[in-house]
Amino acid sequence: MRPTRSIRRTASVVTAVVTTLALGAPATATGASPRTTGVGVQSTTGYEVTGDWNGDGIDTPGIFDRSTATWYLRNSNSTGIANITFVYGNANDTGYPVVGDWDGNGTDTVGLVRGDNWQLRNSHTTGTADIAIRYGNGMPAHRPVTGDWNGDGIDTPGVFQASSGTWYLRNSNTTGNANISFDYGNAGESGFPVVGDWDGNGTDTVGLVRGDKWQLRNSHTTGTAHVSFAYASSPPVTWPLPGDWNGDGSDTAGAVAPADVSVWYLRNSNTTGVAHVTFSYGFDPS
Ligand SMILES: [Ca+2]
Ligand SMILES: [Ca+2]
Ligand SMILES: [Ca+2]
Ligand SMILES: [Ca+2]
């Protein structure tokens, strides 16, 4: 590990292909999920996440560097340095990063899920968890996701159980059982779980990304996809990372090519097409 690492402006676009990506699971697992309020996708150096860090209605990138437990958040979808930097977590943290508006004040903040322990913080500062709850059975059986399932403005936990294709969503940031559960996906689902407000009605719902096929559902019920389209992006290896990139209230597709300097490919509609916004943001190894 390098003793220090910084995010800095770079004009270069990473062309190298990262071949050993593991999704954000414990250590060696292979499955991650992102989100607008999201869980991170893991790169060689950390996890990419997205959220609305400053409450302007637009989701922008963040990086969680596990080795130092440092979060690097940026407030615009452009190449540049972090606007907000702080430590939350432990050095070489094995927790899985999540993002959401836990207190409903309009600003997304971070959290870590360690096993079934969710430790959420309400400010972009170093400190102990503001909210500590237990939910789910932990990775890899349960992949954490976060979203506003009931439209009350507060993001709360959910888990996707790939073995059965079942989603378990909870409407409060407290310990307890799922308020909503349904199957969406196959038993042994290998698709990548995503969540977002696809139709802009104020409620986050779920989706799966299978290869480059985004299959999104607008209700918390079993059924076929309401929205289906292909979106990958240029490099051979990218991970899906949806968000509201233009502040219109709808979450749309994004993809990130994780690397020391990750390349982000954001699209403003849930349709097949090219990225509307492309930029680099991540760790610069130099
Ligand atoms: Ca908040
Ligand atoms: Ca809610
Ligand atoms: Ca919705
Ligand atoms: Ca949008």
Q: With 70 as the cut, is the pLDDT of residue 285 above it?
A: no
In a domain, 72, yes or no: yes
142-160 pLDDT, tens digit per residue, is: 999 999 999 999 999 999 9
Query: What ligand is nearest to the CA atom of residue 248?
Result: 4
Quick one: which of 138, 177, 180, 179 has its CA closest to 161?
A: 138
Q: With 70 as the cut, is the pLDDT of residue 92 above it?
A: yes
Q: With 70 as the cut, is the pLDDT of residue 23 above it?
A: no
In a domain, 108, yes or no: yes
How far does residue 98's CA lie from ligand 2's centre (Å)? 15
| Residues whose CB is less than 8 angstroms from the CB of residue 224 and which lie 6 or more positions away in sequence, other chains included | none
Ion ligand 1: residues, CB within 5 A, are 101, 103, 105, 107
pLDDT at 235: 65
In a domain, 165, yes or no: yes
- Structurally, the chain folds into a number of domains equal to 1
Backbone φ, ψ for residue 155 (5° rounding): -85, 140
The separation between CA 193 and the C-alpha centre of its own chain, rounded to angstroms, equals 10
How far does residue 7's CA lie from ligand 4's centre (Å)? 26
d(CA 37, CA 145): 8
Query: What ligand is nearest to the CA atom of residue 220?
Result: 3
pLDDT at 40: 56
Q: Which domain holds residue 203?
A: 41-282
| Residues whose CB is less than 8 angstroms from the CB of residue 159 and which lie 6 or more positions away in sequence, other chains included | 135, 136, 137, 142, 143, 144, 145, 167, 168
In a domain, 22, yes or no: no
Q: What is the rounded average pLDDT of the residues 61-67?
A: 91
Return the percentage of the chain with pLDDT > 90, whole number: 71
Q: What six digits make up the tokens of 173?
A: 């940031």
234-274 pLDDT, tens digit per residue, is: 666 788 999 999 999 999 999 998 777 889 999 999 999 99
Q: Could you tell me which residue, 188 or 31, shows the higher pLDDT?
A: 188
Q: Let me know: does 191 contact 225? Beta carbons within 8 Å.
A: no
In a domain, 136, yes or no: yes
Q: What pTM does this model have?
A: 0.85
| Residues whose CB is less than 8 angstroms from the CB of residue 286 and which lie 6 or more positions away in sequence, other chains included | none
Q: With 90 as the cut, is the pLDDT of residue 57 above it?
A: yes
Quick one: which of 89, 40, 31 has its CA closest to 282?
A: 40
How far does residue 202's CA lie from ligand 2's centre (Å)? 10
How far does residue 216's CA lie from ligand 2's centre (Å)? 19
